Amino acid sequence: MEDIVKDKKILITGGAGFIGSNLAHQLVRKGSEVIILDSMSENYGANEYNIKGIRDEIQFKKGDVRNRKDVIDVVENVDAVFHMAAQLSRPISMSTPTEDIETNCTGTINVLEAIKDYSPSAKIIFASSQAVYGKPTEKPLTENSKVDPIDIYGANKLAGEKYCSVYEQVYDIDTVCFRLANVYGPRAQLENPKYGVINKFIRLSLNDSELTVYKPGDMLRDFVFIDDVIQGLIKGLVSDRANGEVFVLSSGTSTSIVELAEMIVEISGKGEVSLVPWPEDWDQIKIGDVTFKPEKIQEYLNWSKTTKLKNGLEETITFYENNRQEYNI
């Protein structure tokens, strides 16, 4: 895999955020020429510290995927684009739907158009989400399960997948979509509580606070470690068999929310788990258990997870303990 990405020019939109920056570190290690386009907007996961250590080895452009010119400026001669820039809070997508449309739909179209017009041989790897399934109709979910989003974020991620499919079929642009489960690990932002349960719990635990779990806390989720996700995304880039495909990228292991909270408290040695009622603004978008069977990615890309939740959490918690100031903990 090293040889294939070595010396390749790779654009990462949203590259100062959680997944994009981890990807950038890995690609720089493998000898790729990395360009990051990131708006560095407040409330998202962008953090200068995420690219510490590689800042001088990459090209960084502050710019917005909603602005077509910003995208055109960075696509010339690229071999691939990891399109990670997004609005990714489900509740925020419901309170300000047009903001979500602008980043997640218009932004994705801008990337596809810029590649079509200026670098048509480049491959696009799109970060989709488990949110496309809405309330899961089966357990475990696969790529063939019914997609039926129940929030604007999920609907727009599904639109992003469909846009990729249109450009693949009509303009012959290579695209691969990954439906990511709950990704966790170093370099995520822990400040915005609407940004994912695992981040919220780690922050509360490190601050020796209450980890409030919505009753009864038995809802199942799939938590996948960032290093495994990066491996999957890169395999998607280097494999021709991935072209035009959609993959579930998940650990394949289910954990309840209360189990997760207890594990975090046990590992960090701080905080306390308490069960509370659901907040009102989440009532309409509660989705029940979400479990996955990541068989297609195993078969097509020879990918399977290598990090167990406990080990991944230990590495993650140690990282934030050592970098409290940088992540405002």
Residue 230 backbone class (left: φ over 0; alpha: ψ -120 to 50; beta: rest): alpha
CB closer to ligand NAD, 270 vs 282: 282
**Cβ(124)–Cβ(115) under 8 Å?**
yes
* 5, two tokens: 């990405």
Least distance in Å: CB of 124 to ligand NAD? 13
Distance CA 122, CA 77 (A): 8
Q: Restricting to residues 20-49, which ones interact with ligand NAD according to CB under 6 A?
A: 20, 38-41, 44-46
Distance CA 148, CA 140 (A): 16
- Alpha carbon separation from 192 to 163, 180, 286 (Å, rounded): 29, 20, 19
Least distance in Å: CB of 68 to ligand NAD? 12
Does residue 261 belong to the site contacting ligand NAD (CB under 6 A)?
no
Which x/- pattern over 71-90 shows residues binding ligand NAD (rule: CB under 6 A)?
Answer: -------------xxx-x--
Q: Restricting to residues 177-206, which ones interact with ligand NAD according to CB under 6 A?
A: 180, 182-183, 189, 196
Distance CA 254, CA 14 (A): 28
CB closer to ligand NAD, 38 vs 174: 38
CB closer to ligand NAD, 188 vs 273: 188
Single out the residue of 5, 11, 12, 17 in contact with ligand NAD (rule: CB under 6 A).
17
Distance CA 251, CA 247 (A): 13
CB closer to ligand NAD, 65 vs 78: 65
CB closer to ligand NAD, 275 vs 286: 286
Least distance in Å: CB of 327 to ligand NAD? 11
Does residue 129 belong to the site contacting ligand NAD (CB under 6 A)?
yes
The residues, ordered by sequence, that sit 6+ positions from 308 with a Cβ below 8 Å of its Cβ are none
Cβ burial, residue 47 (10 Å; 0-12/13-18/19+): buried
Residues near ligand NAD, by CB under 6 A: 13-14, 16-20, 38-41, 44-46, 64-66, 84-86, 88, 103, 107, 127, 129, 180, 182-183, 189, 196
